[in-house]
Chain A
Amino acid sequence: MPVRHAVKQGDCILSIASQYGFYDWKFVWNHADNAELRERRTDATLLAAGDVVVVPDPRPKTLNLATGAVHRLVVHRTPVALRIQFLDIEEEPLAGRAYELSFSGITLDGQTDGNGWLEKEIPATQRKIALILAMGDGKPTKGPRYEWDIHVGHLDPLTEPSGLMQRLANLGYWPADEASEEILPYAVCAFQADHGLEMTGEVDDKTKDKLKEIHGGF
């Protein structure tokens, strides 16, 4: 009997599929009963709290294996890569900066490439990552640095006010001490002014398109 899973903050199709024992999230996403959801949420990784995902019955794979022997079974899982671009306030790449990612007792380090990109494989189920980026040429843990707590799978769709606020915050258009929706017109105006759009404070289609273009493909 399929399960109707009510999405809560932090859920995504990968975590939901994994929770119900599916390695391939597409099997869940492409289920016929999720057709309406697929139409509404064009990106499988961007679900909003309140969405409902229909999780089909699992279809266990049957293997015929001889007793008295050791069998090696390999599960093919697609690794996921975190891809983040760092830009300065002039929107120029923060190139060649050392960074450090920490999660679940693991620390991964590296350096942004010439275009300010960080690309690192992470476990598909990892939800919270601490990120440090060096401001200058030194190590990220010594001297001036930027620090972020990255909440993976917590980005809401752009059609939701929360999704809009989260993207503006990622792009730096949000004061650190404020969380109220009252700030939105001020942040939208700043974004519009910096990107040659009419400064209305309204989230029109042009503003959404530009935000999508600058923030990334989601």
Chain B
Amino acid sequence: MRVPVPHGGKVSAVLVPRPMAFLAVQVHFEGQPSLGRQVQFYKYADAKNNKGDSVGDVMTTDVDGVVRLPRLVATGHYVCEIDGQDHAVVSTVDRLKDTYPVYLPVDAEVVDLHAHAPDGDTTDEGGN
């Protein structure tokens, strides 16, 4: 923090511990960044993913599937609504270049290719 040299009765500074970050998501569909998606951010109201007040205007994803709110927001969780249907809870990111990934459809089960195979599974591609 930088303050001027104090003199007279002047105020040196007002300090506000206000953690701020970026609200940016990258939308993926079928493994690819998804262009032209309509994204609206909302405040995160509760643990049931209910949305609060809207944050910013509706934005459209670019060729990289990215939308970035043009202002800093308080660090934390927000709800991201895509094309007026899918709702995902997203986190802010600390750096301008970073994005939070959202995979469509939001409620689809994610297949973890790196998960350990259950005992007795013989689907190892490297096997003979």
Contacts and interface: CB of A to CB of B under 8 A. Distances in A.
A152 B15 contact: no
Interface residues of A, dominant DSSP: mixed
A186 interface: yes
A30 B67 CA distance: 53
B14 interface: yes
A78 B95 CA distance: 44
A193 interface: yes
A80 interface: yes
A15 interface: yes
B15 A85 contact: yes
A108 interface: no
A156 B13 CA distance: 12
Contact of A214 (B2, B5, B14, B70): B14
B45 interface: no
A189 B5 CA distance: 29
Nearest to A172: B18
B18 A86 contact: no
Nearest to B72: A190
Interface of A: 12-15, 43-46, 78, 80-89, 91, 122, 124, 131, 146, 148-156, 166, 169-178, 180, 182-183, 185-187, 189-190, 192-193, 199, 201, 214-218
Which 9 pairs, one residue from A and one from B, show the smallest C-beta to C-beta distance?
A: A172-B18, A189-B71, A216-B11, A172-B16, A190-B72, A154-B2, A80-B6, A45-B4, A153-B5
26 contacts: A14-B5, A43-B4, A80-B7, A81-B6, A83-B12, A84-B11, A84-B13, A85-B11, A131-B1, A148-B1, A150-B3, A153-B4, A155-B4, A172-B20, A173-B20, A176-B94, A178-B94, A186-B96, A187-B71, A190-B71, A190-B73, A193-B71, A199-B71, A201-B71, A217-B10, A218-B11
